[in-house]
């Protein structure tokens, strides 16, 4: 089945540690996104990528890094510089991200990151 796979479902980070969240899609979508969701809050954009080897910062990129070496994969690293990393992280993709008016966004099932 086509879709977006996020792993792991739950992740724990120790103080000073970097952790990487995986996101893989087999929808052949060009654009991929990372959002952060805090309890009772909407989604806030961390990074997005519209093409391989290119990505842009979102509203809350500080303390995070990404790479886009393959079309199917868009991993997110939460670095030790992110002082409040506890949140639900959602990966999404769309066909092109170029602003087609009928372009839908598809989401993975999320990763809950907690600090030990």
Partner 1 sequence: KQEVTQIPAALSVPEGENLVLNCSFTDSAIYNLQWFRQDPGKGLTSLLLIQSSQREQTSGRLNASLDKSSGRSTLYIAASQPGDSATYLCAVKEAGTALIFGKGTTLSVSS
Q: How far is the CB of 15 from partner 1 (least distance, A)?
A: 25
CB 79 within 8 A of CB 31: no
Q: How far apart are the first and last CA of the chain?
A: 35
18 contacts partner 1 (rule: CB under 8 A): no
22 contacts partner 1 (rule: CB under 8 A): no
Cis peptide before 84 (omega within 30 of 0): no
CA atoms within 13 A on the CB side of 11: 23
85 contacts partner 1 (rule: CB under 8 A): no
What is the contact mask toward partner 1 in residues 44 to 83, using x (rule: CB under 8 A)? Answer: xx--x---------x-------------------------
103 contacts partner 1 (rule: CB under 8 A): yes
- Between CA 45 and CA 105 the distance in angstroms is 13
- Give residues in contact with partner 1 (CB under 8 A): 4, 6, 33, 35, 40-45, 48, 58, 88, 90, 92, 97, 99-110, 112
């Amino acid at each position: 089945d086509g879709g977006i796979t996020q792993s792991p479902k739950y992740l724990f980070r120790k103080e000073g540690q970097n952790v990487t969240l995986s996101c893989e899609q087999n929808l052949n979508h060009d654009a991929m996104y990372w959002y952060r969701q805090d309890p009772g809050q909407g989604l806030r954009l961390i990074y997005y990528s519209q093409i391989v080897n290119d990505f842009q910062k979102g509203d809350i990129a500080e303390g995070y890094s990404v790479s886009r070496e393959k079309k199917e994969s868009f991993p997110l690293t939460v670095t030790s510089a992110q002082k409040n990393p506890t949140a639900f992280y959602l990966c999404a993709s769309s066909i092109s991200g170029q602003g087609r008016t009928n372009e839908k966004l598809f989401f993975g099932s999320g990763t809950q990151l907690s600090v030990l």
